[in-house]
Amino acid sequence: MAEIIEQGTLSTLGTVLATGNDATLSTKVLTMRFYNSSAYTITLERYNATTLSTEVLYVFNLSAGDTVSDTFNYALSNGDILTAYSNISGTSYYIYGLQY
């Protein structure tokens, strides 16, 4: 088992937060946090490699200084991708997860 700890700034074009890979049985994202000092919109999408489809998991329109803390467990299989988008630059993110 290995930890996934990532942080940085989201691209307005989308930032891949986690990808399931065949080197592990499962990738699980346990915690995500997003913040911007300005008003912003955050979008989270999941690409399902089995069905070759993308699903929007949520879109939040947030006020300046709001923080999104997402503690839903996202299990990713081989090829699945979790991507976040912000409508403005400067949105910071942090993720924590595990690979089994």
pLDDT at 100 over 90: no
How many separate domains does the chain show? 1
The burial of 41, by beta-carbon neighbours within 10 Å (0-12 exposed, 13-18 middle, 19 or more buried), is given as middle
Q: 26 lies in which domain range?
A: 2-99
Q: Which of 2-6, 32-36, 63-67 has the lowest mean pLDDT?
A: 2-6
Element (H, E) at 5: strand 2-9
Residue 22: pLDDT band by 50, 70, 90 thresholds?
A: confident
- What is d(CA 87, CA 40) in angstroms, rounded to the nearest whole number? 6
The domain spanning residue 42 has which CATH number? Answer: 2.60.120.340
Residue 94: pLDDT band by 50, 70, 90 thresholds?
A: very high
Q: Are 42 and 68 in contact (CB under 8 A)?
A: yes
